[in-house]
């Protein structure tokens, strides 16, 4: 593990690290905040997945999570959103595809399949790697994210209810297989057969029988992507005849930015801490 930076914050440590990923076949960068309580004992771990165009740095620099994470004793891990490097395929003029737009899936189509294995990276490789280096209580894990990262958090939780005890999202893409800004990427990554897309679509997963106890979703009503990309009411409809609980909070005047995320970050950290113990 390569140490890129380490800084003391609220009695804990905010670090940025890199390692060679077998899944993505390139060097991957990630951030980890370790609270002061981890000096003495393993602590619960909370995975934060960022949105389109972001890296690990967006939430680390603008998410305002460290004070509350230190108070609650939560380790917060912030992976990157896609593989990086000069040899990694990309669509430079398309912010919804390629670098910064991994969609937390395992691509099956050329040229993307060689590197874009973000689902395997986030769910298997990175947790296994980090558990060797930090005092993480892997029996107490939660996951959350923003936008594309909210989509990733919800689908991963639905597919791994035995692993995660909590899940929340800021402005998630709840049905990416039909959203204007994600369906084209799904076709390029996964091919034209839409049946293959369902495993990475929260609404489709619920329809196919996947379950998770409860979700917290915060959404700004002034979000410019609300009607054609996010559409949280579709998930509300999808879980109607299930035992899945949903707390959906719609906020006047809030948009899609980190001003919105930072406003409600404490609420999400407390939500997870209550369920992680």
> Quick one: average pLDDT of 224-236?
97
For residue 181, pLDDT beyond 90: no
Quote the CA–CA distance of 244 and 214 in Å, as a whole number.
Answer: 5
Quote the CA–CA distance of 276 and 140 in Å, as a whole number.
Answer: 5
Of 56, 146, 151, 256, the active-site residue reads 256
Locate 138 and state its tokens: 């892997």
% the chain with pLDDT above 70: 100
Q: ∠ at Cα 40 (34, 41), nearest 5°?
A: 75
For residue 276, pLDDT beyond 90: yes
Quote the CA–CA distance of 80 and 264 in Å, as a whole number.
Answer: 22
For residue 74, pLDDT beyond 90: yes
pLDDT band at 6 (very low <50, low <70, confident <90, very high): very high
55-73 pLDDT tens trace:
999 999 999 999 999 999 9
Q: Which uninterrupted H or E stretch holds 205?
A: helix 202-207
147 classed as catalytic? yes
Residue 207: the pLDDT is: 98
For residue 46, pLDDT beyond 90: yes
Quote the CA–CA distance of 28 and 20 in Å, as a whole number.
Answer: 6
> Quick one: average pLDDT of 258-269?
98
128-165 pLDDT tens trace:
999 999 999 999 999 999 999 999 999 999 999 999 99
Quote the CA–CA distance of 146 and 133 in Å, as a whole number.
Answer: 26
182 classed as catalytic? no
% the chain with pLDDT above 90: 99
17-38 pLDDT tens trace:
999 999 999 999 999 999 999 9
Quote the CA–CA distance of 131 and 58 in Å, as a whole number.
Answer: 23
Of 21, 82, 147, 177, the active-site residue reads 147
Locate 163 and state its tokens: 């692993």
Of 146, 223, 268, 272, the active-site residue reads 223
Query: Quick one: which of 216, 270, 212 has its CA closest to 246?
Result: 216
> Quick one: average pLDDT of 49-54?
98
Do 264 and 67 touch, CB atoms closer than 8 A? no
């Amino acid at each position: 593990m390569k140490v890129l930076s380490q800084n003391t914050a609220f009695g804990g440590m905010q670090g940025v690290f890199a390692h060679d990923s077998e899944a993505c076949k390139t060097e991957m960068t990630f951030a980890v905040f370790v609270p002061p309580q981890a000096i003495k004992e393993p602590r619960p771990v909370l995975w934060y997945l960022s949105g389109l165009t972001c890296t690990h740095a967006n939430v680390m620099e603008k998410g305002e999570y460290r004070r509350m994470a230190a108070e609650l004793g939560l380790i917060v891990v912030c992976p990157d959103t896609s593989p990086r490097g000069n040899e990694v395929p990309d669509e430079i003029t398309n912010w919804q595809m390629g670098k910064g737009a991994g969609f937390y899936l395992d691509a099956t189509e050329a040229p993307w399949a060689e590197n874009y294995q973000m689902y395997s990276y986030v769910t298997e490789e990175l947790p296994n790697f980090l558990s060797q280096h930090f005092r993480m209580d892997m029996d107490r894990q939660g996951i959350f994210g923003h936008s594309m990262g909210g989509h990733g958090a919800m689908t991963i939780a639905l597919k791994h209810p035995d692993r995660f005890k909590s899940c929340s999202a800021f402005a998630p893409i709840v049905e990416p297989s039909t959203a204007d800004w994600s369906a084209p990427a799904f076709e390029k990554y996964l091919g034209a057969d839409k049946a293959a897309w369902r495993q990475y679509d929260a609404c489709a997963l619920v329809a196919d029988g996947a379950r998770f106890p409860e979700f917290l979703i915060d959404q700004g009503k002034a979000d410019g992507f609300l009607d054609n990309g996010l559409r949280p009411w579709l998930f509300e409809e999808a879980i109607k005849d299930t035992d899945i609980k949903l707390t959906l909070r719609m906020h006047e005047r809030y948009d899609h930015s980190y001003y919105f995320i930072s406003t409600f970050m404490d609420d999400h950290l407390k939500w997870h801490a209550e369920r992680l113990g």
